[in-house]
Amino acid sequence: MPFVVINLGAEMVFILDQRLRAQNVGKEKSQKVLQEILKFMFNKSFLEELFKPQDRHSYNATKHLFTKLAHSSVMKLNENSMSKLFDLMVMGVKFQIVSTTIPEELYHLTLRHLQEVEDLVTTTSAVEYVEEC
């Protein structure tokens, strides 16, 4: 489950960053939105819970998790927008997984996602959350 959540979460951050830039949202506000999402996503207690042995979540349960994650920031999405965002996240991660040829590449994919998320945010606290992961 951690692999899925971390990669989908990174994909969500990339998509939101792209959408915020396309809508000419100010850099400061964009950074605040992304920082709040990353703070939630890389919160120590959230990660500890995520890494506990558990059954695989259903599609709807995973979507609900990311709806809560998206709404942890000042940004609010309606149900339709959240569904489209989640579909884009899943399509992006699916494509990347299908493009791998050996299991080790899944590990490198996750590391690359974490590095790109870290490069995307500029605030020290958000970078610290990602580095702790």
DSSP string, 40-67: HHT-HHHHHHHTS--PPPPHHHHHHHHH
Give the pLDDT of residue 98: 95
Q: What's the CA gap between 20 and 75, in Å, rounded?
A: 10
Give the pLDDT of residue 85: 95
Q: C-alpha distances in angstroms, 21 versus 12, 24, 95, 103?
A: 14, 5, 24, 34
For the chain, how many residues are written? Answer: 133
Q: What parts of the chain have a pLDDT lower than 50?
A: none
Q: Which domain holds residue 127?
A: 2-132
Provide the whole-model pTM: 0.85
Of 117, 103, 99, 118, nearest to 12 by C-alpha is: 117
Q: What's the CA gap between 88 and 85, in Å, rounded?
A: 5
Give the pLDDT of residue 15: 95
Q: How many domains does the chain have?
A: 1
